[in-house]
Every structure is written in C-alpha cells, then in structure tokens.
A and B are shown apart, each in its own frame.
Chain A
Amino acid sequence: MAAKIDYPLAAGDKGLTNAAKPRISPALTLLAGWLVPGAGHLLVGKWIRALLLMIAIIGMFAVGVALQGKVYTPNTGEPLDMLGFAGDIGSGLLYLLARMLGWGQAPVLIAVADYGTKFIVVAGLLNIVAAVDAHSLASGRKRS
C-alpha cells in the first residue's frame, strides 16, 4: 500500500489544503531547475526565491561571459577541462545557448578572463544546488 505523501504548502496557498494542492513531481522540478535557473522553485510556488535565484545564477553566468571566460567543451582529454565541463553543464540551457552562440570559445587574452571562467563554472554548480533544493521542496524533505 502506497504511503500518502503530505506535501508542504507554498506561502501563497493559504486557501488550499494539501489534498487540493496540485502536486508537482520532484523529478520534474529537478529537471526544470537544472534547465532554467529558478524554474524548479517557480513550479513549487516559491516565485520570489525563483526570481532571486534566476537573477543570481544568470547574472553570474553573464558576468563570466562578459569577462571573456572560457566555456568548456566535452572530450578534450584533459582532466581539468572535464571537471570544468561538469561545472559548466550545470547551467542547463544557458550552457547550450553559450555553445550555440559561440560564447567563451575565443582564446583568453585578458587577465580577468580567468575570473570569468570561474564565474561560469560556479554559476553551473550553484544552479545544481538550487535545482536540488527545489527537488527537496517538492518531495517534502525541506519543509518551506
């Protein structure tokens, strides 16, 4: 017999009981949060958090690209590049957008470009943290 999961209510859902609240799959929030920064929190009804996460992660990625940071590509054979790629891919669609538009492919010419590279990697890692947090909210592991 399947156990009934008691999902937490979002802050704006005062009129709804847990039974009436539409349930969002935790896996879907994880996927959405990974693809678009903040989308996972948006799905669980935490729109202020979603907006702040979106601004912070996209802002960090944008500053990294503006500083001419490197966007890592897979299969270069270098272990450090592979780790960088693992961080970059955490940005989800932002990474694909960067690859499609050719951002971060030019050779590094200025000293602060290395900062940009780190900004891009950390933006991806932070996005993974945010997506996992959205998953925890959707599954009820995190109360609010």
Chain B
Amino acid sequence: MTISHFGAVLLFSLFTSVVFGITQRSEPRMMIRFGAFCFALFVCGTIIASWAMWAIKH
C-alpha cells in the first residue's frame, strides 16, 4: 500500500479525532464537536507547519 503524505495526514487525523472525541467528552453532541475540532486542528496545524518549513527553506 502506498499513500500520499496528505492522505496519511487525513487518515491519522480522522482516527485520532474519533478516539479523542469519544474519550474526552461525555455528551454525544460535545463528542462530535470536539472530534471535529481536533480533526481541523490536526489538518490545519500540519498544513501551517508544512508551509512554515517551506518558508524557512526558501
């Protein structure tokens, strides 16, 4: 199996956010909100870090 770097980010973020959402909140509605927040944070954080590394190099 091969996967793109961004695909790996999406998969990692999805699986991790599901577990964080379920375990860190008590109410189902809050679980979904926290899971979505974690997912967005993982993906956006990775994109920002990637551009930061590109900017440092150039």
The CA-CA distance from A36 to B14 in the complex, in Å, is: 20
The CA-CA distance from A115 to B23 in the complex, in Å, is: 24
How many of A's residues come within 8 Å of B, CB to CB? Answer: 27
Interface of chain B: mostly helix, strand, loop or mixed = helix
The answer on a CB contact under 8 Å between A67 and B3 is: yes
Contact of A133 among B2, B8, B12, B23 (CB under 8 A): B23
**Shortest distance in angstroms between B3's beta carbon and chain A's nearest beta carbon?**
6
The CA-CA distance from A60 to B15 in the complex, in Å, is: 6
Tell me which of B22, B26, B27 has the highest count of chain A C-beta atoms within 10 A of its own C-beta.
B22
Asked if B19 is at the interface of the complex by the 8 Å CB criterion, the answer is yes
The answer on a CB contact under 8 Å between B1 and A129 is: no
Residues of B within 8 A of A132 (CB): 23
- Given the interface contacts A67-B3, A126-B16, does A144 sit within 8 Å of B23 by beta carbon? no
Asked if A95 is at the interface of the complex by the 8 Å CB criterion, the answer is no
Chain A residues packing against B (C-beta within 8 Å)? 49, 52-53, 55-57, 59-60, 63, 66-68, 110, 112, 115, 118-119, 122-123, 126, 129-130, 132-133, 142-144
